[in-house]
Amino acid sequence: MTAEALTLIMRWLHIASVASLIGGMIYGSAVMMTSVGELAPEARKALEEKTAVFFRRIVVVAIVCLTLSGTYNIVIHTGHSKLYHALFGVKLLLVAHIFASAILATQPNNPRRGRQMASAAISGLIVIAISAWLRFNY
């Protein structure tokens, strides 16, 4: 496998993982948590728990794939400015928040699930904006 092919695969893996993780957080906070509010309390809890169990698998796979592909991207792209590294550091702190919120949001019996998904979704959109700016300018 050539270096270009590996780079392309890692880029695709990174983007697909981001789309799955952040898209799931947006869906969970904007659609799922608001629509289940109309259900009876026991039905709401059952649906939330079943959905969280399913989404937990996606979260874990996305975190592993993002960590692997992100590390690969850091290793192959070197020689950036101080501003790039500062913004990249902010991006990594937000990514840590997203990972922690996603893991916590998919835990059983979590009364703060909606808030954690919403905060991860907002942080995810900020990370995407920072990434786009870094990609465009460096």
Note the pTM of the prediction, 2 decimals: 0.92
pLDDT (tens, 9 = 90+) of the chain, 138 residues, equals 798 999 999 999 999 999 999 999 999 999 988 888 788 989 988 999 999 999 999 999 999 999 999 999 999 988 889 999 999 999 999 999 999 999 999 999 999 999 999 999 999 999 999 999 998 887
State the sign of the Cα–Cα–Cα–Cα dihedral 40, 120, 132, 61. Answer: negative
Q: What angle do CA 16, 20, 22 make, to 5 degrees?
A: 115
Both tokens assigned to 77: 């792209």
